């Protein structure tokens, strides 16, 4: 073996060694980034499972006296978070009804007019909206809905605040998804005489349904755990409320209320565990939808 071949082999071994080191470093950093999630899950399960029972899902939050008596007797705190679950479903549901149609339509416009000046302005506004602090959206909901329309705190005001927060993620996910669909698909439909609006609604939109739905579900999971906007709009309620013009509770609001009462510390962990489990389910649903309805081109 001559000298040049030996040098070449040495360089090749050096490169392979660097590749392995880099791969192991990536694996280690990826593992490191997932450690906080597992630690959070471990802590929540360890401290939160004690309060999880059937009554946890159909009873309203206990008052201070009930909790204090239970804690003194070393018993499970009676009551649950039913008012928070119902309030969260109503508020997030109404926010979705407001944000999903607007977000999808706006995303379709941006995908179809990606180089237009007006589209550039809209895209800039959407990006700016994504960075608005949640507490500011709560103030906006208070000014727009609480004072002039409902005349007091309400679930409707909370829904409007959350819908503004949800809107940017739907817009951008819809736009990016539709941009990935080949133009030939749309051109084929138009060449057959299909009107433009039917082409968009029956060809282009269904082709990107997996990405759009994934963005919608991720947007829902993002707002489901928000507290700051609801503190200034929905306020909270000790009873189950289905009237959207009245104050309404939500799981994040209950966690904040439990935090302010030392007798309800155990309820904090249980409500947090349930909320995290709900968010994880939504994320897994988004993954399943993206995998199930993914369209290959």
**Residue 1 confidence class, pLDDT cut points 50, 70, 90:** low
Q: Is residue 170 located within the same domain as residue 28?
A: no
Q: Which helix (H) or strand (E) holds 191?
A: helix 183-191
Q: Is the pLDDT of residue 182 over 80?
A: yes
Q: Is residue 152 located within the same domain as residue 219?
A: yes
197-221 pLDDT, tens digit each: 888 888 888 888 888 888 888 889 8
> Would residue 53 count as lying in a domain?
no
Q: Is residue 41 located within the same domain as residue 88?
A: no
> Would residue 127 count as lying in a domain?
yes
Average pLDDT over residues 47-73: 88
Q: Is the pLDDT of residue 114 over 90?
A: no
Torsion angle of alpha carbons 124, 125, 129, 131, nearest 10°? Answer: 30
**Residue 92 confidence class, pLDDT cut points 50, 70, 90:** very high
Q: Is residue 206 located within the same domain as residue 282?
A: yes
Q: Is residue 13 located within the same domain as residue 127?
A: no
**Residue 180 confidence class, pLDDT cut points 50, 70, 90:** confident
Q: Is residue 165 located within the same domain as residue 288?
A: yes
CA dist., res. 260 & res. 233, Å (int): 19
User: What pLDDT is attached to residue 88?
Assistant: 94
34-56 pLDDT, tens digit each: 999 899 989 999 998 888 889 89
> Would residue 70 count as lying in a domain?
no
249-270 pLDDT, tens digit each: 999 999 999 998 888 888 999 9
Give the mean pLDDT of the chain. Answer: 88
> What is the domain count for the chain?
2
CA dist., res. 147 & res. 245, Å (int): 12
Q: Is residue 185 located within the same domain as residue 93?
A: yes
Q: Is the pLDDT of residue 75 over 70?
A: yes
> Would residue 280 count as lying in a domain?
yes
Q: Per mean pLDDT, which range of 107-111, 247-251, 291-295 is the poorest?
A: 291-295
174 closest CA partner among 224, 124, 103, 77: 103
User: Which residues have C-beta within 8 Å of that of residue 261, sequence separation ≥ 6?
Assistant: 64, 67
Q: Is residue 32 located within the same domain as residue 89?
A: no
User: Which residues have C-beta within 8 Å of that of residue 98, sequence separation ≥ 6?
Assistant: 159, 160, 163
> Would residue 222 count as lying in a domain?
yes
> Would residue 56 count as lying in a domain?
no
Average pLDDT over residues 131-141: 90
Supply the CATH number for residue 122's domain. 1.10.3720.10
Structural domain boundaries, residue 208 = 83-293
> Would residue 287 count as lying in a domain?
yes
CA distances in angstroms from 187 to 16, 192, 195, 203, 216, listed in the order given: 47, 9, 11, 10, 27
Q: Is residue 129 located within the same domain as residue 252?
A: yes
Q: Is the pLDDT of residue 146 over 90?
A: no
């Amino acid at each position: 073996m001559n000298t040049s071949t030996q040098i070449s082999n040495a360089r090749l071994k050096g490169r392979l060694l660097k590749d392995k080191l880099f791969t192991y470093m990536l694996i280690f950093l990826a593992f490191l980034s997932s450690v906080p999630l597992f630690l959070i899950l471990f802590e929540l399960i360890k401290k939160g499972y004690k309060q999880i029972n059937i009554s946890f899902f159909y009873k309203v939050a206990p008052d201070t006296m009930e909790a204090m008596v239970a804690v003194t007797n070393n018993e499970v705190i009676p009551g649950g978070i039913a008012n928070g679950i119902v309030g969260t479903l109503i508020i997030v549901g109404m926010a979705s009804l407001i944000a999903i149609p607007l977000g999808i339509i706006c995303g379709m416009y941006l995908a179809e007019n990606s180089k237009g000046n007006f589209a550039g302005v809209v895209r800039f506004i959407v990006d700016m909206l994504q960075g608005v602090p949640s507490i500011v959206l709560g103030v906006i909901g208070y000014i727009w809905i609480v004072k002039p329309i409902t005349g007091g705190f309400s679930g409707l005001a909370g829904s409007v605040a959350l819908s503004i927060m949800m809107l940017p993620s739907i817009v951008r996910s819809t736009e990016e998804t539709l941009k990935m669909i080949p133009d030939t698909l749309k051109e084929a439909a138009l060449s057959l005489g299909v009107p433009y609006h039917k082409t968009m609604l029956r060809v282009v939109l269904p082709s990107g349904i997996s990405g759009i739905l994934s963005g919608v579900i991720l947007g829902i999971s993002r707002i489901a755990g928000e507290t700051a906007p609801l503190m200034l709009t929905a306020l909270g309620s000790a009873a189950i409320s289905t009237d959207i013009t009245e104050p309404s509770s939500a799981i994040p609001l209950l966690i904040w209320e439990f935090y302010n009462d030392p007798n309800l510390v155990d309820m904090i962990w249980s409500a947090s565990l349930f909320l995290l489990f709900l968010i994880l389910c939504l994320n897994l649903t988004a993954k399943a939808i993206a995998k199930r309805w993914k369209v290959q081109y």
